[in-house]
C-alpha cells in the first residue's frame, strides 16, 4: 500500500464516482483498500439503520457519504481527509441504536425497589443469637363439618394447655386463642401451620407479618385471630374438614451466637461447591495431561499424521473451551439428573479443554538445553525425563492447575443455579422465595471462600513461577 | 587418544554441517576449535558424545569405537565425557545441588536417582565440586538465582561429577563478559593441568592464544586449519573468519594470574 505513489487525478471525477458509489472515487485514485473499507463501512452502517428502522439515524450514513465525496476529491489532489469523521458518525449510530435496543432505562432501576432488596440484605441470615425455644400448638378444624360437630380444638402438653374457640371455622371467621403454662412475660410468636404444612402469618393487615403477643405473669395469653382468607385455596374439596395447627413459639436468648438454619445451608452449599471444583479439577488434570501431549506443536509437527492429530485435537479443545461450563451443565443435568455430579461433569469437561491447552503450551516451552545436558552425563531415558523434563514442567503445571481450581470454584457457584448442585442450588431457591437475608448469607459465603482461594492461589503460584 | 576420521554430518533438511573432518586429540591436550557461527563447531562436539548422530565417519577413543557403541555402551562412554554449554543448560527451577548431582546420573542407581535419593558420598562429591569452582555456599540456591558466571561454574561442577577424562566445552564463555571469560577458562585450564583432555570452541583470538595447546579451525564444515595457536595470526584469522572479520579483543586487561 505504501509503495503506491501519489496519483494526481481529476478531483471532479473522483468526487462524482464517490457520489455514485461510496469508495469508488478512492479506488479511482488507486487507493483500493481505502475505497473498499469506505464502501463496507457505509453499507454496514446503512444496514444497521435500515434494520432498526428509525429514519432519524440515517444522518450517520449520510454524513459518511458526504465525507467520502470530500475525501475522494481531496485524495485526487493528493491530500487524504481524516477518517475520524466517518468513525464518529459510525459510532454515534452504533451506540445510539444500541442504547435504544437494550432499553437503557435508569428510571426503572428505582431507588425504592433497590432499597427494598438491599434492606433485608444488610442483615444476612448467617448467624443468629443463640436461644432456647418453647413451643406449643393446638389443633383447629377448617372448615366446620357440614354435619355433626367438630372435634375439640384443645391440646395439653407438658403442663401447657392451648385451645381455640370455637373449635372450627371457615376463612375470615374469628377465633379466640388461649394458651397457659408457657414462659411468663415473654413475647410469643403465633402462626398458622396448614394441614399440608404451609406457614401462614396472622399479624398485620391480612397476615403480612408475624403476630406477637406477650404472656402475662402466669405464662398465659388470650388473643383473637381470623382464619386466613386463602386457607382453602389449594384444597380440591373445600367442604372437607381438616386439622390445622396454630403454633405458639417463645424464645429466650441464652447469650452467644450460633449459625442460623439458612446460614448452615449456605456453608454446607459452599463446601459442596468447593468439593465440586476439586473433583472437576482432578478429573480435568487426569484427562488433560495425556491430551496436552497430543496438542503440543513441538512434539507433533514431526510428520503429517501427527500434525493432523495436533490440528484436530487443538480444534476440538478450542470448540469445547468456547462453551461456558454453565451451558454444559444444563446438558449434563439432562443426562445425569439434578445434583452436584452434573455440575462436576460440566466443570471437568471445560477444565480438560482449558488445562490441556495450558499444559501443551508449557510442553511447547520446554528448554531443550537442560535435556541435552542431562543426556550428556550418560543418564538413561527415565533419568533424562526425571531430571531434565519434569522439573521444567511441574511448577507451571501446578500453577495452572491451582488457577483452574480457583476458576472452577467461581464457576461452580453459578452452576448450581441450573441444577448442578452446590451453593447455587440453594441460592436460586432463596432468590425465588424472596428470602433475601439468606441470599445475603450466601453472598458472604461465596465472597469469603473466593477471596480466600484467590489470595492463597496467588501466593502459591508466586512461589512456583 | 581421541581419533576422528572422515566425520560427516548431514541434517534431515539437507544441511551439510561437517564434511570429511579428520583429526586427533592426544590425552591432556587443550584443543580449541575456532570458526564462524554455523561452521560446524557445535555439531562436531556433539558428535563426539553422540548427542548428534554422525552421518558417516568414525570416532574412536582409546580403541573404543564411539560411533559403533551400543546404546548401553554409549551411556558408559558418555559418563566419562563431561560437557559444558554456552547457555549453561542448567535446570533453572532446580537447586544448584540437584543440578550438580545430575552430573552423577551415569553412575547412580537408576531407581534411587529417579526417586531423588542420592548417596551421601555423591552429595559430598557435589559439595567438593562446587567448592572447587568457588561456589560451595550456593548449593541450596535456585539455579536461576545465580549470575551468568556462577551458572557456568555450576555447569563445570556438574561436568566434574562425571569424573570425566574428556571435557567438551561448546563456546563456554560466549554468553559471559570478558573478565568472567577468563575466570571460567582458568577453571578449564586447571582441569586440563589435572590431566583431563579439553575440547573447547572459542571465538576470541586472544583467548585462543592464552589457553590453547593446539587449534583446529572449521569453515563451512571443512577442517581448514590444524596447528599451534602461535600459527594463527591476523592473516590466518581473516582467512578463517572471512575478509570482513574484525578481531574483537576479549579484554584489554589480563586476568589475575
Q: Which three cell numbers stand for residue A336?
A: 445425569
Tens-place pLDDT, residues B46-100: 999 999 999 999 999 998 999 999 999 999 999 999 999 999 999 998 999 999 9
Tell me: pLDDT of A118 over 60.
yes
* Contact: B75, A379; criterion CB under 8 Å: yes
How many angstroms separate the most distant Cα atoms in chain A?
111
pLDDT at B256 exceeding the cut of 60: no
Q: Which residue of A has its CA nearest to B91?
A: A370
Look at residue A362 and tell me if it is in a domain. Answer: yes
Residue A233: C-alpha distances to residues A16, A201, A257 (Å): 77, 16, 39
**pLDDT tens-digit readout, A260-292:** 999 999 999 999 999 999 999 999 999 999 999
Instruction: Please say if the pLDDT value at position A411 is more than 70.
Output: yes
pLDDT in tens, A358-383: 999 999 999 999 999 999 999 998 89
b/e B2-39 (16+ beta carbons within 10 angstroms → b): bbbeebbbeeeeeeebbbebebebeeebbbbbbbbeeb
User: Domain range for residue A252?
Assistant: 128-258
d(CA B185, CA B90): 18
Nearest CA-CA distance, residue B254 and chain A, Å? 31
Domain presence at residue A315: yes
Q: What is the location of CATH 3.40.50.300 in chain B? A: 1-80+166-172+194-247
What is the count of structural domains for chain A?
3
* Burial track B75-103 (b if 16+ CB lie within 10 A, e otherwise): bebbbebbbbbbbbbbbbbbbbbbbbbbb
Which residue, A145, A229, A220, A158, is CA-closest to A192? A229
**Cβ <8 Å between A373 and B104:** no
Note whether residue A121 is domain-resident. no
Q: Of A227, A365, A237, which Cα lies nearest the Cα of A296?
A: A365
| Contacts A380 to B, Cβ<8 Å | 75, 105, 110
End-to-end CA distance of chain B: 30
Look at the alpha carbons of B149, B150, B154, B157 in this order and tell me if their dihedral is positive or negative. positive
Q: What is the pLDDT of residues A48-93, one digit of tens each?
A: 888 887 888 889 999 999 999 999 999 888 888 898 999 999 999 8
Residues A250 and A266 in one domain: no
For residue B243, what pLDDT band results from cuts at 50, 70 and 90? Answer: low
Per-residue three-class SS string for chain A: CCCCCCCCCCHHHHHHHHHHCCCHHHHHCCCHHHHHHHHHHHHHHHHHHHHHCCHHHHHHHHHHHHHHHHHHHHHHCCCCCCCHHHHHHHHHHHHHHHHHHCCCCHHHCCHHHHHHHHHHHHCCCCEEEEEEEEEEEEEEEECCCCCCCCCCCEEEECCEEEEEECCECCCCCEEEEEEECCCCCCEEEEEEECCCCCEEECECCCCCECEEEECCCCCCEEEEEECCCCCCCCCCCCCCCEEEEEEEEEEEEEEEEEECHHHHHHHHHHHHHHHHHHHHHHHHHHHHHHHHHHCCHHHHCCCHHHHHHHHHHHHHHHHHHHCCHHHHHHHHHHHHCCCHHHHHHHHHHHHHHHHHHHHHHHHHCCCHHHHHHHHHCCCCHHHHHHHHHHHHHHHHHHHHHHHHHHHHHHHHHHHHHHCCCCHHHHHHHHHHCCCHHHHHHHHHHHHHHHHHHHHHHHHHHHHHC
Residues of B with CB under 8 A from a CB of A: 49, 51, 75-83, 85, 87-94, 98, 102-106, 110, 113-114, 116, 155, 158, 161-162, 168
- Collect all residues of chain A within an 8 Å Cβ-Cβ radius of residue B81: 376
Q: How confident is the model at residue B252 (pLDDT cuts 50, 70, 90)?
A: very low
Over residues B137-195, the pLDDT tens digits come to 999 999 999 999 999 999 999 999 999 999 999 999 988 888 888 989 999 999 999 99
- Cell 473498499: give the residue: A36
A188 in a structural domain: yes
Q: Are A54 and A186 within one domain?
A: no
- Indicate whether A40 pLDDT > 60: yes
Nearest to A298 by CA among A199, A236, A368, A218: A368
Answer positive or negative: Cα dihedral of A11, A17, A23, A28. Answer: negative
Domain match, A145 and A214 both? yes
Where among A230, A258, A286 does a domain terminate? A258
Mapped onto helix, strand or coil, the DSSP state of residue B28 is: coil
> Would A196 be classed as within a structural domain?
yes
Q: Same domain for A190 and A273? A: no
B78, B91, B166: which to substitute to probe chain A, counting the most A Cβ within 10 Å? B91
Instruction: Determine the Cα–Cα distance for residues B124 and B147; give it in Å rounded to an integer.
Output: 24
Over chain B, what is the mean pLDDT?
90
Choose among B237, B200, B193, B194: nearest CA to B219. B237
Has residue A419 been placed in a domain?
yes
Identify the pLDDT of residue A375.
93
What's the gap in Å between the CA of B253 and the closest CA on chain A? Answer: 32
Minimal Cβ distance to B93: which of A375, A379, A395: A395
Cell of B7: 566425520
At A68 the pLDDT is: 92
- Tell whether A252 and A203 lie within a shared domain: yes
3-state secondary structure A285-307: HHHHHHHHHHCCHHHHCCCHHHH
Centre a 10 Å sphere on the Cβ of residue A134 and count the other Cβ atoms it contains. 18
Q: What angle do CA B108, B112, B117 make, to 5 degrees?
A: 95
Q: Which of A258, A282, A309 is the last residue of a domain?
A: A258
CATH code 3.40.50.300 for B1-80+166-172+194-247 = yes
Domain boundary among A101, A136, A160: A101
Nearest Cα to Cα of residue A228 among A192, A269, A181? A192
Alpha-carbon distance of A214 to B80, in angstroms, equals: 96
Of B76, B87, B162, which is closest to A369 when you measure between CB atoms?
Answer: B87
CATH number of A321's domain? 1.10.3720.10
A165 and A298 fall within a common domain: no
Residue A463 in contact with partner chain B when CB distance is under 8 A: no
Are residues A345 and A460 both part of a single domain?
Answer: yes
- CA dist list (Å): B229 to A291, B28, B172, B233, B244: 54, 16, 19, 9, 21
Residue B221 C-alpha cell reads as 564444515
A224 and A337 within one domain: no
d(Cα B18, Cα B54) in Å, to the nearest integer?
9
Q: Which of B172-176, B216-220, B253-257 has the lowest mean pLDDT?
A: B253-257
**DSSP summary character for residue B247:** P
Residues A254 and A267 in one domain: no
Q: Do residue A146 and residue A175 come from a single domain?
A: yes
In a shared domain, residues A356 and A208: no
> Which segments of chain B does DSSP mark as H helices, in order?
41-48, 71-78, 96-101, 110-114, 120-132, 148-160, 178-193, 205-211, 234-241
Distance from CA of B103 to the nearest CA of A (A): 5
Instruction: Give the SS3 label for residue B248.
Output: coil
Q: Is residue A119 part of a domain?
A: no
For residue A117, tell me if it sits in a domain: no
Amino acid at each position: 500500500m505504501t509503495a503506491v505513489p501519489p496519483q494526481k487525478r481529476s478531483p471532479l471525477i473522483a468526487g462524482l464516482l464517490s457520489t455514485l458509489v461510496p469508495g469508488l472515487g478512492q479506488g479511482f485514485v488507486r487507493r483500493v483498500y481505502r475505497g473498499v473499507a469506505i464502501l463496507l463501512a457505509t453499507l454496514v452502517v446503512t444496514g444497521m439503520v435500515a434494520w432498526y428502522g428509525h429514519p432519524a439515524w440515517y444522518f450517520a450514513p449520510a454524513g459518511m457519504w458526504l465525507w467520502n465525496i470530500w475525501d475522494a476529491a481531496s485524495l485526487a489532489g493528493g491530500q487524504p481527509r481524516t477518517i475520524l469523521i466517518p468513525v464518529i458518525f459510525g459510532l454515534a449510530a452504533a451506540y445510539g441504536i444500541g442504547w435504544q435496543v437494550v432499553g437503557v432505562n435508569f428510571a426503572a432501576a428505582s431507588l425504592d425497589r433497590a432499597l427494598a432488596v438491599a434492606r433485608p440484605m444488610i442483615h444476612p441470615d448467617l448467624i443468629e443469637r443463640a436461644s432456647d425455644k418453647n413451643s406449643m400448638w393446638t389443633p383447629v378444624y377448617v372448615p366446620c363439618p357440614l354435619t355433626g360437630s367438630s372435634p375439640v380444638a384443645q391440646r395439653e402438653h407438658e403442663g401447657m394447655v392451648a385451645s381455640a374457640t370455637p373449635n372450627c371455622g371457615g376463612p375470615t371467621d374469628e377465633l379466640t386463642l388461649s394458651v397457659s403454662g408457657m414462659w411468663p412475660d415473654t413475647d410469643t410468636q403465633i402462626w398458622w401451620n396448614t394441614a399440608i404444612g404451609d406457614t401462614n402469618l396472622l399479624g398485620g393487615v391480612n397476615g403480612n407479618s408475624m403476630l406477637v403477643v406477650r404472656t402475662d405473669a402466669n405464662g398465659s395469653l388470650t388473643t383473637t385471630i381470623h382464619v386466613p382468607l386463602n386457607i382453602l385455596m389449594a384444597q380440591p374439596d373445600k367442604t372437607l374438614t381438616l386439622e390445622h395447627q396454630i403454633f405458639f413459639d417463645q424464645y429466650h436468648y441464652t447469650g452467644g451466637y450460633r449459625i442460623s438454619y439458612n446460614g448452615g445451608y449456605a456453608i454446607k452449599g459452599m463446601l459442596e461447591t468447593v468439593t465440586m471444583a476439586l473433583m472437576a479439577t482432578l478429573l480435568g488434570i487426569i484427562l488433560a495431561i495425556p491430551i496436552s501431549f497430543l496438542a503440543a506443536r513441538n512434539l507433533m509437527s514431526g510428520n503429517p499424521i501427527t500434525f493432523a492429530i495436533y490440528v484436530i485435537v487443538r480444534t476440538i479443545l478450542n470448540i469445547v473451551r468456547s462453551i461456558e461450563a454453565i451451558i454444559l451443565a444444563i446438558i449434563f443435568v439432562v443426562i445425569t439428573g439434578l445434583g452436584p455430579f452434573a455440575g462436576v461433569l460440566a466443570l471437568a469437561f471445560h477444565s480438560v479443554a482449558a488445562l490441556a491447552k495450558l499444559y501443551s503450551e508449557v510442553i511447547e516451552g520446554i528448554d531443550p538445553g537442560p535435556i541435552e545436558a542431562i543426556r550428556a552425563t550418560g543418564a538413561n531415558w527415565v533419568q533424562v525425563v526425571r531430571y531434565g523434563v519434569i522439573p521444567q514442567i511441574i511448577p507451571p503445571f501446578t500453577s495452572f492447575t491451582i488457577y483452574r481450581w480457583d476458576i472452577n470454584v467461581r464457576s461452580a457457584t453459578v452452576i448450581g443455579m441450573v441444577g448442578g448442585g452446590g451453593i447455587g442450588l440453594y441460592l436460586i431457591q432463596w432468590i425465588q422465595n424472596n428470602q433475601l437475608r439468606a441470599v445475603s448469607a450466601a453472598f458472604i459465603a461465596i465472597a469469603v471462600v473466593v477471596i480466600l482461594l484467590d489470595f492463597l492461589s496467588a501466593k502459591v503460584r508466586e512461589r512456583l513461577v | 587418544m581421541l581419533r576422528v576420521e572422515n566425520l560427516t554430518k548431514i541434517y534431515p533438511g539437507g544441511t551439510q554441517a561437517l564434511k570429511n573432518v579428520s583429526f586427533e586429540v592426544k590425552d591432556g591436550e587443550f584443543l580449541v576449535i575456532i570458526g564462524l557461527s554455523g561452521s560446524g563447531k557445535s555439531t562436531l562436539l556433539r558428535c563426539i558424545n553422540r548427542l548428534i548422530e554422525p552421518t558417516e565417519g568414525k570416532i574412536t577413543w582409546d580403541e573404543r569405537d564411539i560411533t559403533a557403541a551400543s546404546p548401553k555402551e554409549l551411556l558408559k562412554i558418555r559418563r566419562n565425557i563431561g560437557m559444558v554449554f554456552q547457555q549453561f543448560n542448567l535446570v533453572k527451577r532446580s537447586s544448584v545441588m540437584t543440578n550438580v548431582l545430575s552430573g552423577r546420573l551415569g553412575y547412580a542407581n537408576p531407581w534411587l536417582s529417579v526417586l531423588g535419593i542420592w548417596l551421601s558420598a555423591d552429595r559430598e562429591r557435589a559439595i567438593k565440586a562446587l567448592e572447587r569452582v568457588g561456589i560451595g555456599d550456593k548449593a541450596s540456591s535456585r539455579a536461576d538465582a545465580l549470575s551468568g558466571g556462577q551458572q557456568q561454574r555450576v555447569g563445570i561442577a556438574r561436568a566434574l561429577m562425571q569424573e570425566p577424562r574428556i571435557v567438551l566445552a561448546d563456546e563456554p564463555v560466549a554468553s559471559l563478559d570478558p573478565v568472567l571469560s577468563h575466570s571460567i577458562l582458568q577453571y578449564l585450564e586447571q582441569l586440563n593441568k589435572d590431566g583431563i583432555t579439553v575440547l573447547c570452541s572459542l571465538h576470541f583470538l586472544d583467548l585462543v592464544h592464552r589457553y590453547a595447546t593446539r587449534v583446529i579451525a572449521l569453515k563451512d564444515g571443512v577442517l581448514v586449519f590444524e596447528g599451534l595457536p602461535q600459527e594463527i595470526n591476523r592473516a590466518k584469522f581473516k582467512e578463517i573468519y572471512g575478509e570482513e572479520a574484525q578481531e574483537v579483543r576479549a579484554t584489554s586487561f589480563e586476568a589475575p594470574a
